[in-house]
Structure 1
């Protein structure tokens, strides 16, 4: 995990060799209430959040650019599996 002293939240690590690629899906039109339990630093153009909703967990990615924001989500997993994927994302073992 990359450590930058000016920021409070963690940054997603640089991609490591042999990384696993996540499947990112656009969010559905239906707004689902989710509890965000962890997040990456907002100083980057992509912000990641570990979310819980309906007994399952997933990772949300929000990309920011000059056009605005685009939100993507992974598939749903158990909280334990989502936490493992979250840790891998922060360590650069997945993107």
Structure 2
């Protein structure tokens, strides 16, 4: 499965993080829910303390949870 990563379109102040990967890595993933939709949020940290943020498209929670599981199992890019 190939994921499409996009720059965030707007700040989601009310997004709820329901799952996340280890913050000990240079790339951190979060499964988020907001406004009845869910998506995966990715933050890449560089050596200089900067970060680059991308997100997937929005899906119903069930589909996002399936994609989340595939991501953690290495079945997505």
Taking structure 2 as the reference length, the TM-score comes to 0.92
Moved over 2 A (4+): none
- Across the aligned residues of Structure 1 and Structure 2, the Cα RMSD in angstroms comes to 0.9
* Structure 1 gap segments, 5+ residues each: 1-19
Q: Which residue matches 1:5?
A: none
Number of corresponding residues = 75
Q: Does 1:31 align with 2:49?
A: no
- For residues 40-79 of structure 1, the aligned pairs below 5 Å read 40-65=21-46, 66=48, 68-79=50-61
Task: From the CA coordinates, give the structure whose radius of gyration is larger.
Answer: 1
Residue 75 (structure 1) shift: 0.1
TM-score computed with the length of structure 1 as normaliser: 0.76
1:80 corresponds to: 62
Q: List runs of 5+ in structure 2 lacking aligned partners.
A: none
**C-alpha deviations, 1:5-58, integer Å up to 9, x for none?**
xxxxxxxxxxxxxxx110000012x31120000000011100000000000000
